[in-house]
Structures are given as structure tokens and as C-alpha cells.
Structure 1
Amino acid sequence: MKAAAFTESGGPEVLRTMDLPDPQAGPGQVRVRVRAAGVQPFDAAVRAGWAPPAATDLSWPRVPGNEFAGVVDQVGDGAGWSVGDEVLGFNVLRCYAEYVVVGANQITAKPASMPWTVAGGFTAGTQTAYLALRQLGVGQGDTVLIHAAAGSVGTAAVQLARLWGASVIGTASEANQEYVSSLGATPVVYGEGLADRVRALAPGGVHAVLDGAGGDALDLSLTLVKERQRVLTLVDHGRAESLGVQLVRGERTPERLAEVAAMYARGELSFLVRRTYALDEAAEAHREIETGHGRGKVVLTV
């Protein structure tokens, strides 16, 4: 099979298309012919040399990618799926490839109305947003501040918080203000005076913060909420403990993925793919996500 892989850690340029042995499904596993795979900062960190704690195989060449969509083409004993099933799912690594083998409990059925490009990049952002908001206890009557509201996690978080009864203020660049508004949030631009702008928009106070930006955005968030345990950062991991704020806990599950996929199918949750790249353009996809700008998701088509 063809895969976007690397034989040494480094910048995006280490990613290249390689011919690797086709993986085989064992008991309780399925092999999926990948149609699309999401690209995210997690993958860039792996490429740069980070070893995810949950990774069970860090042999070389190393194939990044931890979310995908495709068609089941091989079923191991007891897996409970059928050849030809259209699915989306998750893994720790190895999704930037023509085939990926995963446990039968790492996939769910792809809604017929969901395009392949959406399905390939859907898993990580939606489940991260879901887990984070549940940890923060977001619900009816809350006012939630979401930093980086135009990104893939922010896009899902704004909509989920609104579905669960909260009001949302979303920070984003000037170019993404209209997009954030279309998701159901009150948009606000980054920059000097942000805390005052947020206070003006939330006279009753901010109850919880989901931080996808880190740095100054996280610091000012601490001045806006009464309880630091209702602040969760997705990016500033090194400072979370000393600041007394939360990091995302919990694991992705097929049940939760099925729930958010059903929301998409009902029209309750939209998901924007901003750009697609071919598998042999994985390095370019990594260069784009490492700019830290842009709305929605970057996806590889396989």
C-alpha cells in the first residue's frame, strides 16, 4: 500500500509517500480501505518527534494520522462488521495510508449524507469538543467563552454548547468573525482589550472557558471566571497544572462518535472542510496546519 510516512523526525519535509506492506486484520479487527484522513496538530507533533503515550507501535517507517473514513474490506474473526460497510473511526497512528487496521470498537457507521472528506476529518474535533464541554459541565444558562472558535474543535464546541443550552462568545481573527457568527456564537476579535470586549458582551459574567489558543488568551480567561476548574486548555499543557485549569480527559469511543455523527445527519451539527490535499501532498497539509490559522479542517484524500 501507499502511505505518507517518515523515517526520521523533523519538519514537514520528512513526510513522503512510501510503499509499505498491506496490513492484515486479526481477530476482533477490521481493515479499512481509507478514503480520507484528517490532519491535525497531534499528527504534526508525532512527525516532529513526540511519542504518544497510547502508541503501541513506534517502529519505522512511522505513519501519522489518527482519524479516517473508508470502506471495510477485510474482517477478522468476531469483529461484527461486513465487507463493504462504510465507516469512520480513529486510531493513534497509521491513518495516512491506503489501508488501516483497527479494532472493531474504533469505528462507527458513516451516515449516508456525510461526504467522505467530512467523515475523514470528523472524529477528533467533534469528540474533543464533546469531552471538553462535558468536563466543564456546560449546560443551560451558561455563558461559555471559546478561544479559537473557527478551528475544527472550536467549530464543533460552539455548536454543541449551543445545543446544550449555553450562550457562546467565540474569539477568532477578523477574517473569521462572520463564520463564527454563523455557528451561533457572538464573535469577538483577538488583540489588546479582549477581556474588556468579552465583559461587555457578557454582563452576567463568563461561566466557563474552552481555550484553543493558549498564552495570553488563557491568562486573560482566568480573570473572567470565578472557578478555575471551569477553564480547560487544549494547547497550553505545560502550564495547566500550575494554573489550576483542566486538560481534556477520557478516550474517544464509537458510541460518542455515533452520537455526534447522528447530529450531523440530522442537520444539528455542521462541519467545515477548508481544504483537501492528496496523500502525496501530506507535507503541504502539515505546513498549512502549522501556520495556526484558518477555519475548519484540513483533510487528506486517499
Structure 2
Amino acid sequence: MKAISYARYGGPEVLEYGEVDDPRVGPDSVLVKVRAAAVNPVDWKCREGYLDPVLAPVFPVIPGWDVSGVVVRPGVAVPEFAAGDEVIGYVREDFLSRGTFAEYVAAPVRALARKPRNLSFEEAAGLPLAGLTAYQVLYRALEVKRAETVLVHAAAGGVGSLAVQLAVHLGARVIGTASEHHHDFVRELGGEPVSYGDGLAERVRGLAPTGVDAVFDTVGGDALKVSANLLAPEGRLASIADHEAVGHGGRYCFVRPDPRDLGHLSELAEQGAVRVHVSKTFPLERAADAHRLNQEGRTRGKIVVTVGGEPGEPENR
């Protein structure tokens, strides 16, 4: 099958498009014909070796954890899905090897849920990792409640834009940091935008004089330090970008695959509570360009890699 892979750590130039071995489908896995795979910051961080202490690579590595596609064949111990089912998945293992930037992926059933019927494959591919991150932080780490005020950093980004929508769905008031040219987008999502940079604390306090009940940090660094001083009494802080959140009395969070959470996200998408904004798509052979654009860190919503062809078994099977 065709795939993107890299045989060593490095920049986007290490990504190669070509033939790789077809995936093997274990008893608890599902062979999925990939239709689209979203790009996430973790993809280039893995490619450059930043997650090496946590996730050992088995080179050559096929990048990508997000997927939307069609079930070709379920494993022998998988009654949940059948051939032809449209699915989404956060396909992460405990090492780096067989990712989703390929024509096919063998996805553990624990990583999958049914694709929202109202989303395109491109939109659906942007939901799993970013959506689960937002969901697990808001619902579990921060336990956001109705009528609370939540500050979301990078509110126009992949995780931030979904966090804004989920917090609004929970009945919260949302203040979202974003570049000025993204302010209208944040408003469309239901948030109240504020600009980054000097004076951020004053701008947030202008909207929430008594402080915010919860902070969802996706940036780290100075934004995290400022956020810790914006909390109301009993306020909660969680970061997906900076371990220093713990030193400020908050929590550092790392998303995990969960089919129940992903299934609930799919239901919320079908209800119209959350939508995925796809800013740009690239064909599979141009995945390196998708990585470069994502690494710039200025994208609104999601960048997605598309994979053509009709669902079916790999040719040599």
C-alpha cells in the first residue's frame, strides 16, 4: 500500500511517500480504508523526536493518529463493526510505528467510534484527537458546570475551537484568546474573543472582574503563568501544553483513546453541538507540506490529509 513514512527523526524533509507493507489485522483490530487523516502538533513533535522518552519508535514510522474511513474487515474478536461501516478513530499505540497517513490502517477497536453522519470524511478526521482532548479536559479534569466562566487559550485552533463549542454546550460562558483576525471565528463558535500579548490579564479581567472558574491552557509558558493569576477562588486550571501547570495548582493532561468518549463526541456532532472547521486539505503524497503548515502554529481549525480510492482489500491480500 501507499503511505507516508520516516526512517529517522528530523524535519518535514524526512517524510517519504511510497510503498510499505500492508498492515496485519489482529483479533481486536479493524482494517480501515483511510479516507482522511488529520494533522496534529503531536505528529511533528513525534517526527522530530520530542516524544522519544515516552513513545519508542519502530522505524520506519508511519505518522498520524487521527483517521476517518470505511471498515474493510473486522478482526475475529470484533463484533462491534462490520465491513462498510464508516468510522473515526484516535489510533494511538504505546509506540510509534503504524499510523494513519496510509491507504489502510489496522486500528484497535478501543480507538474507534462510528463516524458522524452529517460530517464529511475530511471534517470527521479532525474530530478524534482534538475532540477527545477538549472533551476529557472539560468533562473530567476541569468538570465544567453550567453558568461557569471558562478561559480557553488558542480558541481558534484545532483543540481550542472544539473546546469552546463543548464548553458552550455545557452551558458555560467562554472567553477565548486568539489573534485578532480570528476573533469573528471565535464569536461564531460562541466565545468572547480577547487578543494575546501584553495586557492579556487586564483584558480578561475586564470581561470577568472576579476571575474565571476554569482555564483550559493549550499554549503553556507565559499564558499559563498569567492564567494562574486569573482564577477565581476555587478555580481550576488544566494544561495540555505545559507540565508547569502542576506547580500552579493545576493539572497536566494527555489525551487517551476512549471509544465511549469518542462515541459521545460523534453524537454531539450529529446533534450540531460541535462542528469541525477544516482550513486546508492536502493529498497524501503532500503530507510533508501539511506538516510544515501545522508546525507554523497559525492555523484556524484543522489541516487534513486526504486519501483517494474506494474501500476494498489491499491488492496483495
Q: TM over 0.5: same fold?
A: yes
- Once the 2 structures are TM-superposed, how far is the Cα of residue 94 of structure 1 from its aligned partner? 0.9
**CA contact 1:229–1:245 (8 Å) conserved in 2:** no
1:279, distance to aligned residue in structure 2 (A): 0.8
Distance in 2, Cα, partners of 1:110 & 1:52: 31
SS at match of 2:185: helix
Q: Give the equivalent residue in structure 1 for 2:30.
A: 30
Structure 2 residue 69 is the aligned partner of structure 1 residue 70: yes
Cross-structure match for 1:192: 198
1:131 aligns with 2:136: yes
Amino acid at match of 1:184: G
* Cα deviation 1:253-299 (Å, max 9, x = unaligned): 11111111111111111110111111111111111111111210011
Does the Cα contact within 8 Å between 1:136 and 1:229 map onto a contact in 2?
no
Q: Which residue of 2 aligns with 1:280?
A: 285
* Structure with greater strand share of residues: 2
One-letter amino acid of the counterpart of residue 88, structure 2: L
Write the mapping of 1:31-70 to structure 2, written as runs, cut at 5 A. Answer: 31-51=31-51, 55=55, 58-70=57-69
CA RMSD for the aligned pairs? Answer: 1.7
Equivalent pair of 1:156/1:271 in contact (CA under 8 Å): yes
What are the residue-to-residue correspondences of 1:67-106 with 2, within 5 Å?
67-80=66-79, 81-92=81-92, 94-106=99-111
For 2:54 and 2:32, the matched residues in 1 are separated by 21
Counterpart pick for 2:127 among 122, 130, 133: 122
Q: 1:216 to 1:166 in 2, by over 3 A?
A: same
How many residue pairs match? The answer is 300
Is 1:301 the counterpart of 2:306? The answer is yes
* Residue 152 of structure 1: aligned partner: 158
Gaps of 5+ in 2: 93-97, 308-317
Opposite residue 267 of structure 2, the aligned amino acid is: A
Residue in 1 that maps onto 2:270: 265
Show CA shifts across 1:205-257 (max 9, x none): 211110112221111111111468711112123x2333332111562211111
Counterparts of 2:233 and 2:201 in 1: how far apart (Å)?
17
Q: CA 1:295/1:105 → structure 2, altered by over 3 Å: closer, same or farther?
A: same
| Paired residue secondary structure (1:4) | strand
Q: Which residue of 2 aligns with 1:244?
A: 249
Structure 1 residue identity aligned to 2:4? A
Tell me the SS of whatever aligns to 1:290: helix
Q: Is the 8 A contact 1:229 1:246 kept in 2?
A: no
Question: How high is the TM-score relative to the length of structure 2?
Answer: 0.90
Distance 1:52 1:261, change over 3 A: farther
The CA deviation at 1:112 is 2.2
Aligned-partner residue type, residue 297 of structure 1: K
Q: Does 1:225 align with 2:224?
A: no
Alpha-carbon spacing, 1:258–1:148, altered in 2? closer, same or farther (3 Å):
same
What letter matches 1:39 in structure 2?
V
